[in-house]
Amino acid sequence: MSLGIAVTTTGGIVLAADSRQSYVNRKGMGRVGSDSAQKVFNLTDRVGVVMAGLAFLDDNGTPKIVSRFIEEFKRVHELKKLNVQQIATKLVEFLGETFKYKKLLHQLPQQIEANLKKNGMELIEHKIVNAQVVFKFKHPNGEIQSGVTGIQGLYFLVAGFNNDGTHMVCNVSMPGSIELMRDSSTKGKEYGADWIGQTDVVSRIVLGVDGRISALPFVQKAAQEVSNLK
């Protein structure tokens, strides 16, 4: 998993990322493919992008490194007249032609059901919520549990300056949406740091807490108890 960061200051915007590229082999085991992968790119002379997530996309049966798609995107699109948010939208449209994440997401329940059945369990119900599959399943002893899973996605921070001198940072998730993180024309959103990928360590350092803590049962229980007191 990667870590990409965009820091927006009064003096400019800094984009940075690690250079490790990993993959999952046929046995489902994680392996390091390279320690010199490129994850930061210039899209124009005023807009850049940093990426995280999937390292390869299937191109007519052949795995192709995502950076090749980024370079192709630059060649086939006229980006100089577009603002940062428009470029982010074009990038999603372009990659979506190859990374058919909606199809993969709708195929996921079948894979979940097959895996559960292999282990003697039964899928009871499922639904797709916010690009994830939420499901319930039954154990052989009758116990019912819940689960949440999703497909491995692509994540980008598209950042830079518009032709009018304003600046923006867009957080792009595939599957997901485009979120405007920084916007110099909106008070309170002008400056700050944003990150994508394996963000748990950065979140702990900068925010003092890992956001995944809210998923822990005892934290949810405590939050419910506090809510009931109000």
Which residues are registered as beta bridge partners of 134?
Answer: 127, 148
Which residue has better confidence, 185 or 199? 185
CA distance 117 to 217: 26
Least confident interval from 70-74, 80-84, 161-165, 216-220: 216-220
| Cα Rg, the chain, nearest whole Å | 20
Residue with tokens 């690009």, as numbered in its chain: 131
Q: Which amino acid is at 152?
A: Q
pLDDT above 70: residue 94: yes
135: phi then psi, degrees, rounded to nearest 5: -145, 160
H or E stretch covering 127: strand 122-129
The structure's pTM equals: 0.80
168's CB contacts (< 8 A; 6+ apart) are 83, 84, 85, 159, 160, 162, 180, 182, 183, 184
CA distance 77 to 90: 8
Closest CA to 171 of 198, 205, 195, 207: 195
In the chain, domain spans? 3-99+153-198, 108-149, 200-230
Q: Which amino acid is at 170?
A: C
Closest CA to 84 of 196, 192, 1, 6: 6
- Mean pLDDT (whole number) for 121-137: 91
Least confident interval from 60-64, 89-93, 153-157: 60-64
Q: Does domain 3-99+153-198 have CATH number 3.60.20.10?
A: yes
| Beta pairing, strands 56-59 & 30-34 | unpaired
- Mean pLDDT (whole number) for 78-96: 95
CA distance 52 to 22: 11
Instruction: Give 24-64 pLDDT, tens digit per residue.
Output: 666 666 667 677 889 999 999 999 999 998 888 888 888 88
Q: Reduce the DSSP state of residue 80 to 3 states and report it.
A: coil
Least confident interval from 65-74, 188-197, 204-213: 204-213
- Give the model's pLDDT for residue 199: 77
CA distance 182 to 189: 5
Residue with tokens 């980008």, as numbered in its chain: 156
CA distance 230 to 227: 6
- Give the model's pLDDT for residue 9: 96
Number of H helices, E strands in the chain: 5, 15
- Mean pLDDT (whole number) for 19-28: 71
Token representation of residue 144:
């019912």
pLDDT band for 83, please (50, 70, 90 cuts). Answer: very high
